[in-house]
Structure 1
Amino acid sequence: MAIFDIQLPPGIAKALRLPQNSASRQQDRVLRKLLRKARFTKFGQKYRFDEILMAKNPNARFQELVPTYNYNRIYDEWWHLTLEGQQDVCWPKKIKYYALSSGTSESASKYIPITSDLLKGNRIVMIKQLLSLRNYTDIPVKSIGKGWLMLGGSTALQKESGYYAGDLSGITAKKVPFWFQRFYKPGKKIARERDWNKKLEDIVSKAKDWDIGFIVGVPAWIQMCMEMIIERYGVKNIHDIWPNLAFCVHGGVSFEPYKKGFEKLLGKPLTYIETYLASEGFIAYQDRQHAKGMRLVTNEHIFFEFVPFDHVNFDSAGDMISNPQALTIKDVEEGKDYAILLSTSAGAWRYLIGDTIKFVDKKRCEIVITGRTKHFLSLVGEHLSVDNMNKAVQMVGEELNVSIPEYTVIGEPYETFFCHRWYVACDDTVDKDLLCTKIDEKLKQLNDDYAVERKSALKEVFLEVLPEESFMEFMRVKGKVGGQHKFPRVLKGKMLEDWKKFLNQ
């Protein structure tokens, strides 16, 4: 039996566009809605959106006429015009807000357009997620009406020439609906603070005065905040301060590596709710207890295409070919890795977001994030995904009864062949050689290609154990603290160079 039952009036259910029919038909309507809204923009005129709308099969015609984009290409061809103040470029009117996003592998900030239509769609999805709590059981109802501590970016946005820029979580918090303000913590004053360390200190100082039911954010920063509160007030666990804390809403990275560390800070179990909110839009959310994955948002403000993540569509560096095979939702299969293309109500068109997912329940449109197109290791054909690594770390952590909240891996030449080098955060006492052997064994079990290559060209696996603080300090040095920033699971390019310099220092 559900913890509470909400009977929505038909008009509200229709306004929220709660799922009533197939995901494929919902996606058809979303694409048409996006095309109609943007048909008079410069992008819509060039790629003949009117013609696509009149086609017998708009989906197929859309793929024929509109090319695929990564960030660099769409910025160079289109989005730079919006930053220069032009309107009606890829979406109607002038873009007033941009989410600054550098992902987890690149140094330069990306400017992702944020429109009122996108924020409206995100808010509707957030309401749907809140309403989905009626599908949960055995959790305290009273916690639902308590405070929501949202550990996001600063709402004090950078004012540029004709627009504002900042973290998406900061933009979202700045525009929080009036009815939600009584629940919202840390409040407007603290939320404006740009210095993440100062913001954490302010939150810790106020923590004893709040009655928190939900805590929301990236797992690493949530854990750090709870540890600071426990230390400041000399209590045994976070529930000594917040007895009604019942929900942890998290996203951005796999939660499993953090779970053991979290549980040490609790006085009673939490209900964990996963979300998939990217700078480009609210993509998916967990809508029921013990779900296999997150439900894809198919009926709101994003049209999805799925590119099989294989050697046919991607090169060895993780770059997508110019004309990939792109499937719509009706043609995907469970258990296969796909890169996502988004078309959104902020003027992203067939845009490669860089994440890889797989469907774990196609009927329910439930997905899990398996990694990023750039964050995988395949030096010699081992095809090691972040999903494989997360599972191996989780299994070994449970077997050895240690907490491994962070890790990163690099691939590099070794003698005449190659090796993987792991850097693992663990504040528990652990034998690094045993840890290395165990992770290697689990990866062989999880990935046949890895097992084969460990007998040939992938000659060695090395592992170093570092304090968790080392990982956090590197993020501080890089200016990637708080909000949606998370440590990359695979290091390449400039980030790898900076990591090696950091370790040498």
Structure 2
Amino acid sequence: MGLFNRLGNQYLKRRLSSIDEMKENPLKAQAKVLTELLKRGKGTVYGQKHNFSGISSPGDFREKVPVVNYNELTPFIHRAMQGEKNVLWPGRMENFAKSSGTTESSSKLIPVSEEGLKNCHYLGGRDMLAIYLRNHPDSKLITGKNLSIGGSQEGSPVAGKNNFYTGNISAIVMKNLPFWAQLGRTPGLKVALMNDWEKKLEAITAITSQQKITSLAGSPMWMLLLLQHIQKEQKFKDIREVWPHLEVFFHGSVSFAPYKPLFEELDGAGTLRYQEIYNATEGFFGIQDLTDDTSMLLMLNYGIFYEFIPEEDFSDESPETLLLSEVKTGRKYSLVISTNSGLWRYKIGDSIKFTSLNPFRFKIMGRTKHCLNVFGEDLFAEQGEAALAKACKRTGTLMSNFTVAPFFYSQGEKGYHEWVVEFKKPPARPEEFAKILDEELCNLNEDYRQKRKADTAIDKPVVREVPEGTFYQWLKSKEKLGGQHKIPAMSNNRQFVEEILSSLRTVS
């Protein structure tokens, strides 16, 4: 392994040179990306429809190609899923990553091309390692294995014409990793891609407890569940009793803030390092490159061309976009991306705020719409409202106002969603109402359903009934009475819920 490690280190050093070049010439990097994307896409169905051959500048691109959402791309994605070639990207698309949908669909299927894997997701993983090793030259990371938990997978034949692969983006990435990359990670694919979470948990615990683990990677929620399970099995106080060489946790997908104190409880020595990444279903966008700043470096040479919608235009049907050269720090922007997997001027629904323009660093601000995503559920406000309406209809109740927030993990316990609801006509059986609400949410949202399956990651929701007038009094106390103010339907923190419940306790 000595030669292998030396070759790996040399490669990672070359990647650092590429990162530094991107940081020094960000606009040049983006111009090169757009030119290559248009060149590759001009012969596709989508490229011919929008005359990619006649586009010679970012201005032309913005003028001739519309900003779209998932529903507007769906017909093209369906054609690609039927086996048709050259629809959104050259060739036949063989991988589609599952992601949360909107109220119209419980899940989205995002095309993932071979170029998207090699020149985006894989480069992101390598650059993450390169940056970490530069920041920590004393690291022994490569002497051990990375423990990463894969997502679910499923093969999906369509009418006998085409066998394509669907699964979480982590499952697609793992399944297609080159052999040399598989050597550095654990568990093996057979276990990592298991669909049964409880069996996967047992298998990962049995395998990795005996291995030299130097790093962890994945969603904080899933990793915490694994570590708590291993703690229960191994009876440790400090995770290094199991993995004495553990150095770092590479994390992403949801906010780390609620989880960090719980990881610190498992880290008796207090020396575990953390590095955040922004690896979404649609692409690998950012890497934390400084040890004292959680902002992430926007990766501009991964085959993704970026545009930005200012916050005041989030709700516009055909918004004007800004280029990288036009953004400012401290302002909130919605991401629009064109990618080497065939997403063209696609609104992903995430918003960011730049903290630096030299180089371009940013922080994730959340969804452009109200959305719960503490446990990886990506539950939209529209879905919550629809589920509540159906639960009210099925139980003969009437609801006037609501808000929902997560109840965070405590040691060894699951979190759940706490719904504070003001009824005009309350349910006769509150437990039944909560059960039906849970069922409807599962029907509307694929990610929520998976997290709730067998109480895997999220416990059943709790519905708190509050007296009529509660939300009005809360708005009044905040001096927010009036038509322009709205009840926050969803929040990833408990500020609103705690304020409302606290006001009731004060009155009583």
State if a TM-score over 0.5 links the two structures. yes
Per the TM alignment, residue 18 of structure 1 is displaced from its structure 2 partner at its CA by 4.8
Q: What's the CA shift string for 1:171-208, capped at 9, x where partnerless?
A: 11011122222211011221231112211111112232
Output the TM-score relative to the length of structure 2: 0.72
Match of 1:66 in 2: 65
Instruction: Work out which of the residue numbers 334, 342, 349 in structure 1 matches 2:344.
Output: 349
Candidates 23, 39, 61, aligned match of 2:42? 39
* Percent identical residues: 32
CA distance in 2, matches of 1:148, 1:11: 22
8 Å CA contact 2:378–2:447 kept in 1: the answer is: no
2:274 is matched by which residue type in structure 1?
A: Y
Q: Give the equivalent residue in structure 2 for 1:263.
A: 264
Q: Are residue 219 (structure 1) and residue 220 (structure 2) matched? A: yes
2-structure distance, mates of 1:91, 1:44: 9
Q: Which residue of 1 aligns with 2:88?
A: 90
Determine the C-alpha separation between the residues in 2 that align with 1:163 and 1:17.
37
189-198 or 336-345: bigger deviation? 189-198
What per-residue deviation string (whole Å, max 9, x for no partner) do you get for residues 249-287 of structure 1?
Answer: 110111111111111111322111111111111111112
1:307 maps to which of 299, 306, 309: 309
Q: TM-score, normalised by structure 1?
A: 0.72
TM-superposed CA distance for 1:134, in Å, is 3.4
What is the Cα deviation at residue 340 of structure 1? 0.3
Residue 45 to residue 156, structure 1, CA distance change in 2 (3 Å):
closer
Task: Give the Å deviation of 1:19.
Answer: 2.1
**1:305 corresponds to which letter in structure 2?**
E
In 1: Cα distance, 2:64 partner to 2:286 partner: 28
| Distance (whole Å) between structure 2 residues aligned to residue 248 and residue 10 of structure 1 | 21
Note the alpha carbon deviations across 1:201-245, whole angstroms, 9 max, x for none: 111122321111111111011111001001101222211100111
1:204-353 correspondence runs (5 A): 204-268=205-269, 269-310=271-312, 313-315=313-315, 321-353=316-348
Q: How many residues align?
A: 411
- State the distance in 2 between where 1:105 and 1:143 align: 43
Q: Give how far 1:168 is off.
A: 1.0
116-125 or 4-13, larger mean C-alpha shift: 4-13
Q: 1:8 to 1:406 in 2, by over 3 A?
A: closer
- Distance change (3 Å), C-alpha of 1:149 and 1:103: farther
Partner of 1:479: 450
* Aligned counterparts of 2:358 and 2:399: Cα–Cα separation in 1: 48
Cα shift at 1:491: 6.3
Residues 445-464 of structure 1 show CA distances to partners (whole Å, capped at 9, x for unaligned) of xxxxxxxxxxxxxxxxxxxx
- Structure 2 counterpart of 1:246, one-letter code: E
| Cα displacement string for residues 440-496 of structure 1 (whole angstroms, at most 9, x for unaligned residues) | xxxxxxxxxxxxxxxxxxxxxxxxxxxxxx9xx9899712379xx998xx867xxxx
**CA–CA separation in structure 2 for the residues paired with 1:116 and 1:486:** 32
**3-state DSSP of counterpart to 1:371:** strand
For the structure 1 residues 9 and 260, does the alpha-carbon distance in structure 2 shift closer, same or farther, using more than 3 Å as the test? closer
What are the superposed Cα offsets for residues 369-402 of structure 1, whole Å, 9 maximum, x if unpaired? 10101226xxxxxxxxx89xx9xxxxxxxxxxxx
Letter in structure 2 aligned against 1:132: I
* 1:201 alignment partner AA: E
**Counterpart-to-counterpart distance in 1, 2:46 and 2:79:** 11
Question: What CA distance in whole angstroms lies between the structure 2 residues aligned with 1:476 and 1:347?
Answer: 24
- Whether the 8 Å contact between 2:258 and 2:408 is mirrored in structure 1 is no
- For the aligned residue pairs, the C-alpha RMSD in angstroms reads 3.9
Task: Write the deviation string for residues 346-390 of structure 1: whole angstroms up to 9, x where unpaired.
Answer: 1100000111111011212111110101226xxxxxxxxx89xx9
- Are 1:247 and 1:273, in contact at CA under 8 Å, matched by a contact in 2? yes
The CA distance in 2 between the partners of 1:308 and 1:486, in whole Å, is: 35
Structure 2: 5+ residue stretches without partners: 1-5, 390-397, 412-417, 419-437, 459-487, 491-508
Secondary structure class of the residue paired with 1:60:
helix
Pairwise mapping of residues 448-463 of structure 1 onto structure 2 (< 5 A)?
A: none
